[in-house]
């Protein structure tokens, strides 16, 4: 198979972890006889410094001619004072989602067995590991709704000042298509789906719940569906996460819950994500930020970037065996005690604590040794 990949490494630790992600993809290509062509482009703060915009036309042209986008990380203090539309996150990531219709965000929250002790919950609550998939609607809701700020001039003695309004808007079609993605994922797992909303307060959530119930009953009757208010869902994730398998929710709730779920696993340096369109085109990135404080020091954990590459192989290219091979290689590396600094314990031998590049080398090495 031959595929063209837009490589957007971004800012901070992005370039160094992307290097390791490509290293492992090259190992996959060699082992399974595929050809991956990489087209690199600037995005985020580095793109602003060069072109005056975090998502320049040249970058969009490269993405348009590619089969998937492999994304690193963007942002940093250097660009925080820019106008909102020119900040790396708002000026690059949000437009990429809109341009390519990336409406479905898939974020696994997985605890690898060898890292169970690093999790934030007591081990008895995570016995047997943890494997949750959060399916977040990504292009609707309050983040993409109309917003406005107005000044109030009131009568003497009354409160004066600005007020702000944000609209949380969802259509039946938007809810149906994200429900379909969640149901398809549930069917491949344990046929269990939790829909999270705030239907006791929000009209958009009342519609959400009504549409989800109807869609699942008509199209996926095998899926066990239950509902949970977002505040209760947050509490349950923090105290009893193993009750969940696949969670589907709207944009802002998904943003919050997926970060909470990632904290439970012990390190955001281990967690990938995929953002998909209806055509299967996608953007694949680690969930962590650009970590400019450790950039260039060889301290960054590249495993989330590498696992994002595995998700790209699975969801964009349909290469399930190759994706599983990357996961198996990482499991082997961890089982043999190798760690980056962020996931090392007090008892980890110094010779098992690896730099960014050494971890990438180790994963590629273990992948090469796998037998199929």
Domain boundaries, the chain: 1-119+278-372, 127-265
In this prediction, residue 259 carries a pLDDT of 86
Dist CA 184 CA 280 (whole Å): 14
pTM score of the predicted model: 0.89
| pLDDT tens-place string over residues 120-137 | 666 666 666 789 999 999
Output the pLDDT for position 116.
76
Pick the CATH number of 127-265 from 3.40.1360.10, 2.60.40.1930, 3.20.20.210, 3.40.718.10: 3.40.718.10
CATH topology of domain 1-119+278-372: Isopropylmalate Dehydrogenase (3.40.718)
Residue 120: Cβ within 10 Å count: 11
Poorest-confidence range of 15-24, 125-134, 142-151?
142-151
Q: Where are the alpha helices (DSSP H) in the chain?
A: 14-32, 45-51, 57-64, 88, 94-99, 172-187, 203-219, 230-239, 251-265, 303-315, 320-335, 356-369
User: Can you give the pLDDT at residue 153?
Assistant: 59
pLDDT grade, residue 148 (50/70/90)? low
Q: What is the mean pLDDT of the chain?
A: 93
Catalytically annotated residues: 143, 198, 231, 255, 259
Residue-level pLDDT at 213:
98
Q: What is the mean pLDDT of residues 46-60?
A: 98
> Among 100-104, 198-202, 263-267, which is the least confidently predicted range?
263-267
Query: Is residue 251 within 8 Å of 144, Cβ to Cβ?
Result: yes
Position 268 scores a pLDDT of 80
Each residue's pLDDT tens digit, 263-279: 888 778 899 999 999 99
pLDDT at 155 over 60: no
Mean pLDDT of all residues in 83-110: 94
**Which segment of 177-181, 253-257, 258-262 scores lowest on mean pLDDT?**
258-262
Instruction: Give DSSP secondary structure letters for 283-315.
Output: EEEESS---TTTTTTT----HHHHHHHHHHHHH
Domains 1-119+278-372 and 127-265 agree in fold: yes
């Amino acid at each position: 198979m031959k595929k063209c990949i837009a490589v957007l490494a971004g800012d901070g630790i992005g370039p160094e972890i992307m290097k390791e992600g490509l290293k492992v993809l090259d190992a996959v290509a060699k082992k399974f006889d595929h050809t991956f062509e990489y087209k690199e482009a600037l995005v985020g703060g580095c793109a602003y410094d060069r072109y005056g915009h975090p998502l320049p036309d040249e970058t969009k042209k490269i993405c348009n001619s590619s089969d998937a986008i492999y994304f690193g990380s963007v942002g940093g203090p250097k660009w925080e004072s820019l106008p909102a539309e020119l900040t790396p996150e708002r000026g690059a990531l949000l437009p990429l989602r809109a341009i390519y219709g990336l409406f479905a965000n898939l974020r696994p929250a997985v605890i690898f067995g060898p890292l169970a002790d690093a999790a934030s919950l007591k081990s008895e609550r995570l016995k047997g590991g943890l494997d949750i998939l959060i399916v977040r609607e990504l292009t609707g809701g309050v983040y993409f709704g109309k917003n406005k700020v107005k000044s109030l001039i009131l009568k003497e003695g009354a409160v004066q000042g600005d007020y702000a309004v944000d609209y949380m808007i969802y259509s039946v079609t938007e809810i149906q298509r994200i429900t379909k993605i969640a149901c398809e994922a549930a069917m491949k797992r344990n046929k269990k789906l939790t829909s999270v909303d705030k239907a006791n307060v929000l009209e958009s959530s009342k519609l959400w719940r009504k549409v989800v119930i109807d869609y699942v009953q008509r199209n996926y009757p095998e899926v066990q569906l239950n509902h949970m208010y977002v505040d209760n869902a947050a509490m349950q994730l923090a105290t009893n996460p193993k009750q969940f398998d696949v969670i589907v929710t709207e944009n802002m709730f998904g943003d919050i819950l997926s970060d909470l779920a990632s904290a439970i696993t012990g390190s955001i340096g281990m967690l990938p994500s995929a953002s998909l369109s209806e055509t299967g085109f996608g953007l694949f990135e680690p969930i962590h930020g650009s970590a400019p404080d450790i950039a260039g020091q060889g301290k960054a954990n590249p495993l989330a970037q590498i696992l994002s590459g595995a998700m790209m192989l699975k969801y964009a290219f349909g290469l399930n065996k190759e994706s599983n091979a990357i996961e198996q290689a990482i499991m082997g590396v961890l089982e043999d005690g190798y760690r980056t600094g962020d996931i090392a314990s007090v008892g980890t031998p110094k010779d098992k604590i690896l730099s960014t590049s050494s971890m990438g080398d180790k994963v590629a090495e273990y992948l090469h040794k796998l037998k199929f």
